[in-house]
Amino acid sequence: MKNLLTMKDLSVLEIEQILHDAHAFAKGELWKPEGQTFTANLFFEPSTRTRMSFEAAERKLGLDVLNLDCSFSSTQKGETLYDTVRTLEEIGAAAAVIRHSKDRYFDELAGRVGIPIINAGDGCGNHPTQSLLDLLTIQQEFIVLQGLKVVIVGDIRHSRVAKSNAEILARLGAKVYFSGPREWYDSELDENGYLTMDEAVETADVLMLLRIQHERHENKSGMTAEQYHERYGLTVNREKRMKEHAIIMHPAPVNRGVEIADELVECERSRIFKQMNNGVFVRMAVLKWALKTNSKEETKNGHLIKGW
């Protein structure tokens, strides 16, 4: 069985296949599993776009969705995540989509449960379907990634998106740089990759802004929103210095006027809402990949996964 936990779970060939399928879904192609198939969505953290995006993807594939409201479930009674997922497996889920605030929550699941786990975000760690939708968006624009200059701006250290993306973009041949407050820079990363914001806007083919996660660190930086915007944000003036063909990306939700000027959110170079649109197609492709793989294999426990 194959899980999608981090981007490292995917070979370059698999990534290409998933992006190929996502393109096809975007053009209206259909794929449905045989027989009634259930998926379970477990979101232990607030989320609009990722949760809704997965649910739309599931429904477009004709799947039946079991939504576990995690603020109101047996996990309140102290049940382990393993037992919750095993329960959903017994109830009939053919795959589980999980978001959890704990880094690598999936370590207690992988190889122990009989259904694929699709990681919809773990703590400050990984968010592979976000990376895939970012890749799809870049590919739509530039076709090849080889040699492309991508600058990731913001709270690198606490961002799921930054790490997933930096790793895979490099593997696919893009040149990745970073910008944002020095204290949020990750010491494990190459110091030569660090740019000031003014350098960043002139360097980038793809300017990938990260969200300031107010809910994770209470203004540790000691800056006001205005100060952040002035020093590290995409201001109206900085946007004018960007390369002609360069695009702006952001995983959203956007803090308007902080990471990006309010009036730039839907400007011509912005692909921010396009990314959300692409998210549905990428998730359809990932679900297809996980369900197709799974139906061909026996699980560790030796029983066949039935597509019911």
Q: Considering only residues 209-228, where is the footprint of a copy of itself by CB under 8 A? A: 214-215
Min. distance of Cβ 84 from a copy of itself in angstroms? 6
Q: Which is nearer to a copy of itself, 84 or 131 (CB)?
A: 84
Cα distance between residue 133 and residue 252, in whole Å: 13
Q: Which is nearer to a copy of itself, 42 or 195 (CB)?
A: 42
**Residues whose CB falls within 8 Å of the CB of residue 113, separated by 6 or more in sequence, listed in order:** 82, 85, 86, 89, 96
Side-chain-side CA neighbours of residue 69 (13 Å):
2
Min. distance of Cβ 142 from a copy of itself in angstroms? 21
Tokens representing residue 224 in the block: 């006001």
Q: Which is nearer to a copy of itself, 23 or 149 (CB)?
A: 23
Min. distance of Cβ 121 from a copy of itself in angstroms? 12
Q: What is the dihedral of CA 224, 227, 229, 231, to 10 degrees?
A: -140
When asked if residue 235 is in the footprint of a copy of itself (CB under 8 A), the reply is no
When asked if residue 26 is in the footprint of a copy of itself (CB under 8 A), the reply is no
Phi, psi of 53 (to 5 degrees): -65, -45
Q: Considering only residues 129-188, where is the footprint of a copy of itself by CB under 8 A? A: none
Give the DSSP H or E segment for 287: helix 272-296
Among 130, 139, 165, 255, binds a copy of itself (CB under 8 A): 255
Task: Pick the stretch among 125-133, 135-143, 157-165, 277-285 that binds a copy of itself (CB under 8 A).
Answer: 277-285
* Residues present in the chain in total: 308
The whole-angstrom distance between residue 279's C-alpha and the CA centroid of its chain comes to: 8
Q: Give buried/exposed letters for 94-124 (b at 16+ CB in 10 A, else e).
A: bbbbbbbeeeebbeebeeebbbbbbbbbbbb
- Which amino acid appears at position 62 of this protein? G
Q: Which residue has the tokens 């350098």?
A: 199
The 82-111 site mask, x for binding a copy of itself (CB under 8 A), equals -xx-xxx-xxx-------------------
Among 170, 253, 298, 300, binds a copy of itself (CB under 8 A): 253
**Residues whose CB falls within 8 Å of the CB of residue 78, separated by 6 or more in sequence, listed in order:** none
**Residues whose CB falls within 8 Å of the CB of residue 218, separated by 6 or more in sequence, listed in order:** none
Min. distance of Cβ 176 from a copy of itself in angstroms? 26
Give how many residues touch a copy of itself by CB under 8 A: 53
When asked if residue 308 is in the footprint of a copy of itself (CB under 8 A), the reply is yes
Which residues participate in the annotated binding site for L-aspartate?
A: 77, 160, 211
Q: Considering only residues 40-79, where is the footprint of a copy of itself by CB under 8 A? A: 40, 43, 46-49, 51-53, 55-56, 59-60, 64, 66, 68-69, 71-79
Coil, helix or strand at residue 176: strand
| DSSP count for the chain of H helices, then E strands | 9, 8
Q: Which is nearer to a copy of itself, 205 or 259 (CB)?
A: 259
Which residues participate in the annotated binding site?
A: 49-50, 77, 99, 127, 130, 160, 211, 252-253
Tokens representing residue 38 in the block: 């259930």
User: Using CB under 8 A as the criterion, which residues of the chain lie in contact with a copy of itself when the complex forms?
Assistant: 28, 36, 38, 40, 43, 46-49, 51-53, 55-56, 59-60, 64, 66, 68-69, 71-80, 83-84, 86-88, 90-92, 214-215, 252-256, 265, 273-274, 276-277, 279-280, 308
